[in-house]
Amino acid sequence: MFLHLLFLLSALLTLAGAAMVLITRNIMHSCIYLLASLIGVAGLYATLGADFVAVTQIMVYVGGIVILMLFAVMLTGGKDFVSKAQHLLGLAPTMGNRWTYTVGGLVALVFLFTNIHLLRRLGGMGQVKNDGAFAPTVDQIGNLLLTEHVLAFEISSVLLLGALVGAALIARPRHERSEK
């Protein structure tokens, strides 16, 4: 019962948030809506029994990435950034080219129908097997990380290092060129 409710709320939050990201003119508002959407996704993880992933999601994504984006927006004068709205049928203030909307809409429809077609084949595959008990996953994930997926683990650490150095290199201030 609780599960269904949680699922419903989380799904609603996710999708609403994503839609608002698309529609909102203000970039700061978009970031906040993304944040809401990501919290919703975390809730969905929770309903799936992926407790560690849900928490990691909130910590990293919500607490880290979106904040980072807000910083970037603030650093680049994003608050003042208001894109020219192009009203599509006067219904909702939208941004971007109407052609883009058309093409994008078509693409979305394509994906939609294809996937529904595929999913119908899946049919009654997935019923929640274990309806009640959710075992904690932290231990198992920790084990797996260091045994089966140790390579990816190490590489991801290198990747983070690279990203760190790279980001710092790209965005460093360049006031006095001659100093270097």
Partner 1 sequence: MISLASYLVISLVLFLVGIMVMMVRKNIVAILLGIELVLNAAALNFVAYSKFVTQNLDGHIFSLFIIVVAAAEAAVGLAIVIRFFQIKETIHVDEATQLRN
Partner 2 sequence: MEYTIASVAPIFLCPFLAFVINAFIGHRLPRHGDWLSVLAIFISFLFAARIFGDFVFGQFATDYYVHKVFDWFDVSGGGVDFKVAMGVYIDNMGAVMLLMVTGAAFLITLFSTWYMHDDPRYGRFFTYVSLFTSAMLGLVLSDNLLSVFIFWEIMGFCSYSLIGFYYEKEKAGDASLKAFMTTRVGDVFFLLGIVAIWQVVGSVTFVDIYAAIGAGKFAGLQIMGVSLTTFAAFCIFMGTIGKSAQFPLQVWLPDAMMGPTPCSALIHAATMVAAGVYLSLRTYPLMVAGDLTHFIALIGAITAFGAATIALVQTDLKAVLAFSTISQLGYMVLGVGVGSYNAAFMHLITHAVFKACLFLSAGSVIHAVHEQEMPKLGGLRHKLPYTFIAMMCCTLAIAGVPFFAGFVSKDRILGDALYWGTMAGQSKVWMIVPILGFAGAFLTAFYMFRMMFLVFFGKPRDHHLYDHAHHEHIGVNSNVPLLIFTVFTLGFWYCGTLTGQSFGKVFGGKTEWFKVLIEAPQLEKFAGRTREPFSMTDTRPRAELPHAHYHHQSGYVGPGAENEHGIHHAHTIGAIASIVIAFGGILLAFLMYIQGSVRPWADKFPALTRALQRRYYFDDLYVGILIQKAMIPFNRGLSWFDMGVYDRFAVDGWASVNRVFFKASKWFDDVVIDAVGVDGTGVAVNLFNLVLRIVQSGKIQFYFIVLVVTLAGYILAL
Question: What is the Cα–Cα distance from 101 to 86, expressed in whole angstroms?
Answer: 11
CB of 55 closer than 8 Å to CB of 66: no
Q: Report the site for partner 2 in 82-141 (rule: CB under 8 A).
A: 96, 100, 103-104, 106-107, 110-111, 114
How many residues lie near partner 1 (CB under 8 A)?
A: 85
The reply to whether 64 sits near partner 1 by the rule CB under 8 A is yes
Binds 126: which of partner 2, partner 1, none (CB < 5-8 Å by kind)? partner 1
Cβ contacts of 131 within 8 Å, gap of 6 or more: none
Question: What is the Cα–Cα distance from 126 to 9, expressed in whole angstroms?
Answer: 21
Helix 150-171 and helix 138-147, axial crossing angle in degrees, nearest 10: 90
Q: Report the site for partner 1 in 133-172 (rule: CB under 8 A).
A: 137, 140-141, 144-145, 149, 152, 156, 159-160, 162-164, 166-171
The reply to whether 81 sits near partner 2 by the rule CB under 8 A is no
Question: What is the Cα–Cα distance from 41 to 47, expressed in whole angstroms?
Answer: 10
Question: In terms of CB distance, is 68 or 103 closer to partner 2?
Answer: 103
Which parts of this chain interact with partner 2 (CB under 8 A)?
96, 100, 103-104, 106-107, 110-111, 114
